[in-house]
């Protein structure tokens, strides 16, 4: 069993598709190990999006991610990290296939509904970044 970290972004909450997104993960067999609502701050975002801090679009990404609270999930399953990325679809929602979460619910390459860990290393770092040990169950 592997655990992946999902962030339901402000557009997910604004569009009221939180339940639909969680339903898709549950239908695919994922189990919930942790869940909480939290407000992002610039320091946390600079860590989480360290690979993007120098990009011209970074200020827009930061403003978007702080435009409302997000919901952080730790989801467990066999091959959870790669399988979650498959369910989510590519970064640009406009290029994401129908049937993927971004393809069905996202807007563009910023407002794309959710984040999913992209490797075992980032999943471990994100679990430590967003959850205290006592906020994670099972696993
Ligand atoms: N992003 C953006 N503009 C871009 C590319 C990415 O605003 O041109 C945002 C988008 O919300 C994306 C996040 O930055 O999900 C992280 O980018 P990454 O390349 O890591 O994509 P992901 O792993 O989320 O598919
Ligand atoms: Mg990424």
Q: Is 110 in the pocket of ligand 1 (CB under 6 A)?
A: yes
Strand order of the β-sheet with 2-8 is: 31-38, 70-77, 2-8, 114-116
Task: Give nearest CA residue, ligand 1 atom 2.
Answer: 110
How many residues are present in the chain? 139
Index of the ligand 1 atom closest to the CA of residue 111? 11
The 8 Å CB, 24+ separation contacts for 11-17 are 11/64, 11/106, 11/107, 11/111, 11/112, 11/113, 12/71, 12/105, 12/113, 12/114, 13/68, 13/69, 13/70, 13/71, 14/68, 15/105, 15/113, 17/105, 17/113
pLDDT of residue 19: 98
pLDDT of residue 124: 98
Q: Give the count of domains, the chain.
A: 1
DSSP state of 64: H
> pTM of this prediction?
0.98
Average pLDDT, the chain: 98
- Give the tens place of pLDDT for each residue, 90-135: 999 999 999 999 999 999 999 999 999 999 999 999 999 999 999 9
- Confidence band for 46, pLDDT divided at 50, 70 and 90: very high
Q: Which of 61, 101, 113 to mutate to test the pocket of ligand 1 (most atoms within 8 A of CB)?
A: 61
CATH number at residue 117: 3.30.70.141
Distance from the CA of 91 to the center of ligand 2, in angstroms? 8
pLDDT of residue 32: 98
Index of the ligand 1 atom closest to the CA of residue 65? 11
Domain that holds residue 34: 2-135
């Amino acid at each position: 069993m592997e655990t992946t970290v999902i962030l339901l972004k402000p557009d997910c909450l604004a569009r009221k598709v939180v339940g639909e997104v969680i339903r898709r993960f549950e239908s695919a067999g994922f189990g919930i190990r942790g869940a909480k609502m939290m407000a992002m701050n610039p320091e946390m975002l600079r860590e989480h999006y360290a690979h993007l801090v120098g990009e011209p679009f970074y200020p827009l990404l930061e403003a978007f991610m702080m435009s409302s609270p997000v919901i952080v999930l730790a989801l467990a399953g066999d091959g959870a990290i790669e399988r979650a990325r498959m369910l989510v679809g590519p970064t640009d929602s406009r290029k994401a296939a129908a049937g993927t979460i971004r393809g069905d619910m996202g807007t563009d390459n910023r407002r794309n509904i959710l984040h999913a860990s992209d490797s075992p290393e980032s999943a471990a770092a994100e679990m430590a970044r967003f959850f205290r040990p006592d906020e994670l169950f099972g696993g």
